[in-house]
Amino acid sequence: MSVTAEQNENAAANETIDLRRDYEESGVGEVLDQLDRELIGLKPVKTRLCEIAALLLVERARKRLGLVNEAPTLHMSFTGNPGTGKTTVAMRMANILHRLGYVRRGQLVSVTRDDLVGQYIGHTAPKTKEVLKKAMGGVLFIDEAYYLYRPENERDYGQESIEILLQVMENQREDLVVILAGYSDRMDKFFTANPGFRSRIAHHIDFPDYSDGELLQIADKMLDHQNYYLSPEAKVALADYIEKRRQQPHFSNARSIRNALDRARLRQANRLFAHTGGALTANQLSEITAEDILASRVFKVAAESQNQ
Amino acid sequence: MRITQGQFSFLPDLTDEQIAKQVQYAIEKGWAVNIEFTDDPHPRNSYWEMWGLPMFDIKDAAAVVSELQACRKVYSGRYYIRISAFDATHGWESLRMSFIVDRPAEEPGFDLERQEVDGRNIRYTTRPYATNKPSGQRYS
């Protein structure tokens, strides 16, 4: 008895070493680190990704030992408020899953309702199938997925598309991963109307709103990419801006910040034209000052509402 | 009589896994993959019916295999089904691969007709026995 037990134990011990080596060889750690560096906040998303990565590595080890393994379902749904990074993460997902060896080719096919649903009877099925064929071996990303289902029109072809999607999601799990994304409230409604979808999606990931500090970091990063930087006063002004903007309607997290920065760049350009004559240094061209940000309408609106 | 046309036709029938590997090779070369079927296996019958459109912008063989399953659902056992890969690059513009992936359960083979002409000369004609019946009923 002791011999076989020992052998088993040895095999098991070797496998633990392998798992660690697997982890290093697969480059997963690198991908996750990169994600951590480049995407700010999004704690629940990152946690879930780590879990998935771990699961896939363990599955691979199990397969090598001949233990029962069934391809895990990796269909996902990303829900969250506007501008919380759903699309950005989905774009990276294909790359991550490819590195993990879960999808074979790693291409991302990004579609919306228009690409799936046809305009007349008999048009929808070939169209949806065509898209699915393109996505085989990779990730199919359906943005604003709730538009697929239009309850107000009972003859809507969206339902047909949903049926085909469901069938492929179930039968060809190892061939493609489907990611749905959309705003929380509408996706909830969508899932209530299509319970089949909810149960076929293993990972429902909710994207939380960013905190003020995180938004400031994001702003820094965005500007850095475009070779701009904020002066210290501008940084204070932007922090103030974020706080005030959040109180106002149509706040959409990182997207609002991106728009605000785009407008600040406009004002900076205008200021450079108006006030500086002659030669400009690279430094002047890339600095965004407090006045570029304080000129925003947001501050006026905030002041008015306080006066009332 | 077992029809031998295209690649691999002297080998045992390819499994789905082997078909997928061949198709993946074609996809990686950038060739468009087609699924075709016919019930007239005469070697000079080069234009078979197409199942759907040629598949240009797919990345993975799984797409072709699932189309092949759909085609088999309709025609398996009664028709020949082949997969071909078309190379569109300038100078080639022709098929680079072609192999049979499904065949009727029974293949009656060919009739060889000898026509005696001009004294002792003979002209030969081959005709599939299957084409004695109208298309669609040939192998059922």
Task: Determine the pLDDT at residue A113.
Answer: 93
pLDDT per residue as tens digits for the range A221-277: 999 999 999 999 999 999 999 999 988 888 889 999 999 999 999 999 988 888 777
pLDDT per residue as tens digits for the range A82-127: 888 888 888 888 888 888 788 888 899 999 999 999 999 999 999 9
Q: How confident is the model at residue A8 (pLDDT cuts 50, 70, 90)?
A: low
pLDDT per residue as tens digits for the range A96-106: 888 878 888 88
- Interface-testing mutation among A134, A167, A171, A177, with chain B (most B C-beta atoms within 10 A): A134
Please state the pTM of the whole predicted model: 0.82
Residue of A nearest to B52 (CA): A126
CB contacts < 8 A (A, B) = 34
Check CB contact under 8 Å for B66 and A176.
Answer: no
Q: How confident is the model at residue B97 (pLDDT cuts 50, 70, 90)?
A: very high
- CA–CA gap between residue A286 and residue A289 (Å, rounded): 10
Which residues, at least 6 apart from B37, have a Cβ–Cβ distance to it below 8 Å? Answer: B48, B49, B51, B71, B75, B79, B80, B81, B82
Binding-face residues of B in 16-75 toward A, CB within 8 A: 52, 55, 57-63, 66-67
A64 touches chain B (CB under 8 A): no
pLDDT per residue as tens digits for the range B10-22: 999 999 999 999 9
Contact predicate A84/A210, CB 8 Å: yes
Long-range contacts of A234-243 (CB under 8 A, 24+ apart): A234/A288, A234/A289, A234/A290, A234/A292, A234/A293, A236/A290, A237/A290, A237/A293, A237/A294, A238/A293, A239/A212, A240/A299, A241/A293, A241/A296, A241/A298, A241/A299, A242/A212, A242/A215, A242/A216, A243/A212
- CA–CA gap between residue B25 and residue B1 (Å, rounded): 30
Min distance B137 CA to chain A CA atoms (Å): 28
- CA–CA gap between residue B33 and residue B56 (Å, rounded): 7
Mean pLDDT of B87-95: 95
Of B57, B59, B66, the CB nearest to A105: B59
- CA–CA gap between residue A82 and residue A211 (Å, rounded): 14
pLDDT beyond 80 at A18: no
Min distance A194 CA to chain B CA atoms (Å): 25
Task: Determine the pLDDT at residue B49.
Answer: 95
List the Cα angle A255/A261/A265 in 5-degree steps.
145
Bridge-based pairing of strands B94-102 and B110-117 is: unpaired
Q: How confident is the model at residue A17 (pLDDT cuts 50, 70, 90)?
A: low
Q: How confident is the model at residue B87 (pLDDT cuts 50, 70, 90)?
A: very high
Distance of CA A99 to the CA centre of its chain: 17
Identify which of A300, A209, A298, A301 has the alpha carbon closest to the alpha carbon of residue A252: A209
HSE at residue A217, side-chain half, CA atoms within 13 A, is 11
pLDDT beyond 80 at A2: no
Work out the end-to-end distance of chain B between its first and last CA atoms, rounded to an integer number of angstroms: 17
Which domains does chain B show, CATH number per domain?
16-107 (3.30.190.10)
A chain contacts of residue B60, beta-carbon cutoff 8 Å = 104-105, 136-138, 175
Mean pLDDT of A38-43: 86
Check CB contact under 8 Å for B57 and A107.
Answer: no
Task: Determine the pLDDT at residue A20.
Answer: 76
Mean pLDDT of A47-73: 82
Q: How confident is the model at residue A7 (pLDDT cuts 50, 70, 90)?
A: low
Check CB contact under 8 Å for B57 and A176.
Answer: no
Task: Determine the pLDDT at residue A11.
Answer: 53
Contact predicate A246/A76, CB 8 Å: no
Contact predicate A77/A181, CB 8 Å: yes
A125 touches chain B (CB under 8 A): no
B chain contacts of residue A172, beta-carbon cutoff 8 Å = 62, 66
Q: How confident is the model at residue B76 (pLDDT cuts 50, 70, 90)?
A: very high
- Name the more confident of A65 and B44: B44
- CA–CA gap between residue A192 and residue B12 (Å, rounded): 51
pLDDT beyond 70 at A1: no
- Name the more confident of B88 and A14: B88
- Name the more confident of B97 and A41: B97
pLDDT beyond 80 at A23: no
What one-character DSSP code corresponds to residue B132?
Answer: G
A chain contacts of residue B59, beta-carbon cutoff 8 Å = 105, 107, 134, 136-138
Min distance A201 CA to chain B CA atoms (Å): 21
Task: Determine the pLDDT at residue B16.
Answer: 94
Check CB contact under 8 Å for A136 and B55.
Answer: no
The H or E element spanning position A240 is: helix A232-247
Phi, psi dihedrals of residue A151, rounded to the nearest 5°: -65, -25
Q: How confident is the model at residue B57 (pLDDT cuts 50, 70, 90)?
A: confident
What one-character DSSP code corresponds to residue B63?
Answer: H
* Cα torsion through A90, B59, B53, B83, rounded to 10: -150
Q: Which residues pair with B117 in a beta bridge?
A: B121
